[in-house]
Structures are given as C-alpha cells and as structure tokens.
Amino acid sequence: MTRQTVMDAEGTRYILEKRSAESSRVRNPDTGEQLHLPNDELEPLDGESPLVTAARAVPEELRTLLTATHSERALGLVIELQQDGPLAVRALIEQYDLCESDLHGILGELQAAGIISETTVFGERGYELTSQGVAAITRLTE
C-alpha cells in the first residue's frame, strides 16, 4: 500500500500507514503517535505527499536551514558564524578550507535562504546570521 496524507474532522493531518476494512493505522507526524481511526473519519488529501506532511513536523526555521545547507561544510559555516560571527569574507577564506568559488556559492545559498546577511566587519564585507539563522541554530542545538 502506498502511504498517503489523510485528515480527520478536526483538521489534524496524519500519514496513513495501513488500511483495513473498517479502520486505518495512522501516524501523527508531529508526535510520532500511531492511532487506529475509523475509515469514515478520515479524508484523503490528494496532492499532498506524505513526505511533505512528514517534513512539516520539523519547525520551519530548521527546514529552511536544512534545505539551504547541502553539505556539512555549509552547515559548519553557519555554526561557525553563530559561534564567532559576524566574520569578514577575508577571515572566512583564511580560516577555513574553502576556495573563493565554493565560499561564494555557499554564502549565496545561505543568503538566499535568509540564514545569513551581508554586513560590514572592521570596514570589510562580511556575513552574520539573521534572526532566522539564529533561531534555526538554537533549535538545532537544543
């Protein structure tokens, strides 16, 4: 059976795991709780992937961070900016094993995602975490 997203009368979304004649086993993606609910109390949500439903259990700022950081180096850069930032571009190139091109690519993706923003550090162009970036790292390290 293919999993699908279903909703109960209160609007709670579940991932349908198994269906029998009268009831279905569903999982609440927010809590992980598995329940058996009558089939007539569940409505399929066509067009909503169960993978999207599962991802919504992750807080939005973390989803944004995880989507924007495609590598451990990108995630590490965000953590370093949280620990030591803001940091000048020159410092980023000198202190970390990134060539200019790789650094530019990572910074562009993080900036586009709203995780970092450009700033001035000791008169030089640099980067710092945005409030969204700080919130994401805080949630990640809790």
The confidence score (pLDDT) of residue 1 equals 67
pLDDT in tens, 19-68: 999 999 999 998 889 999 999 999 999 888 888 888 888 788 888 888 77
d(Cα 89, Cα 124) in Å, to the nearest integer?
A: 8
Query: Which tokens belong to 114?
Result: 């709203």
Distance between CA 75 and CA 118 in Å, rounded? Answer: 17
CATH topology of domain 4-55: SH3 type barrels. (2.30.30)
Of residues 101, 137, 135, 112, the one with CA closest to residue 92? 101
Other beta carbons within 10 Å of 103: 18
- Reported CATH class of domain 60-140: mainly alpha
Distances (CA, A) of 28 to 2, 104, 133: 17, 40, 27
> What are the backbone dihedrals phi and psi of residue 84, each rounded to the nearest 5 degrees, phi first?
-120, -5
Cα 123 to Cα 135: distance, rounded to the nearest angstrom: 27
Q: Where are the domains of the chain?
A: 4-55, 60-140
Q: Residues 47-59: pLDDT tens digits? A: 888 888 888 887 8
Instruction: Write out pLDDT tens, residues 79-93.
Output: 889 988 899 999 999
